[in-house]
Structure 1
Amino acid sequence: MQANPEEAPLPVNMLNIAGLERLDPQAPVVMLNLMRFHARSRDGDGSGWDAYLRYSAVTVPMIKARGGTLLWTGEAKAVALGPHAGSDWDFVALVHYPTVTAFLDMMTSEAYEREADPHRVNGCAEHLIIATSEAYSKFSLG
């Protein structure tokens, strides 16, 4: 689960507020998180994975406080279909929020910026979050 340590640093805040504001603010959303970790945390405190675990310890209570839940996480193993270049992710997470507003509230909060995001930035060489809407689910979220 480690990326090349020579990769360019992850910008501190790449939150696409304009894109999220085009969505229905009261609609439920599942965020697909794709992560690639630094071999070493940028703050020198363990590996990128260690920094991500610190990030998770802070964010999971923030998610739950807004009515959200962690649906699924797992290690990314291999690209099964599609281009391989740039698709070498280490970890995947699906996080449900009751509304887009709840996600934005968390991501723009002072507590997130101060207590959580530094761990994410230290651990992740790349972190992509895709907002999704449900087309079909075996599991009812509503």
Structure 2
Amino acid sequence: MAVNMLNIAGLDGLDQHAPVVMLNLMRFHDRSRDGDGSGWDAYLRYSAITVPMIKARGGTLLWTGEAKAIALGPHDGNDWDFVALVHYPSLAAFLDMMTSEDYEREADPHRVSGCAEHVIIATSEAYSKFKVK
């Protein structure tokens, strides 16, 4: 994600050392912008690069799945294709990855090529059935 797309001001107000789960909402292009398959194909290339980056920073991919239908709320603007929950041991770990040269050079071009829209929402835990290490 281009550094200029990160909401640094909003994230600066959060505890940099607290664990965070990032809710990712994605909508894919029918065809990837680089011409190499579908938007989904480009996203798979992105994931193959970013999952090791996440793990290297102590993070964990918790859950992914297809967004099937809006069950409650406005339909306009909420036609997502895919959802992912990613745990980071700290917000600082997330920012370290997202602002790294490796991410910018190797991963982000695939994300941009595949995603028509990609929103990441930083969350803090209020309740969890699952204990994240």
How does the TM-score come out when normalised to structure 1? 0.91
Deviation, structure 1 residue 101: 0.1
Matching residue's letter, 1:29:
V
Cα distance in 1 for residues equivalent to 2:16 and 2:29: 33
Select the residue among 85, 96, 109 that pairs with 2:100: 109
Corresponding residue of 1:87 = 78
1:68 aligns with 2:59: yes
Q: Secondary structure of the equivalent of 1:46?
A: coil
1:22-61 equivalent positions in 2, closer than 5 A: 22-61=13-52
Q: Report how many aligned residue pairs link the two structures.
A: 132
Corresponding residue of 1:137 = 128
1:116-127 equivalent positions in 2, closer than 5 A: 116-127=107-118
RMSD: 1.1
Cα distance in 2 for residues equivalent to 1:106 and 1:66: 8
Unaligned runs of 5+ in 1: 1-10
Corresponding residue of 1:99 = 90
Q: Secondary structure of the equivalent of 2:11?
A: helix
Give the helix-richer structure, 1 or 2. Answer: 2
- Per-residue displacement from partner, 1:17-73 (whole Å, max 9, x unpaired)? 111111000000000000000000000000000000000000000000000000000
Corresponding residue of 1:78 = 69
How does the TM-score come out when normalised to structure 2? 0.97
Unaligned runs of 5+ in 2: none
1:18 aligns with 2:9: yes
Cα distance in 2 for residues equivalent to 1:53 and 1:63: 15
Matching residue's letter, 1:96:
H
Greater than 2 Å deviation, 4+ residue runs? none
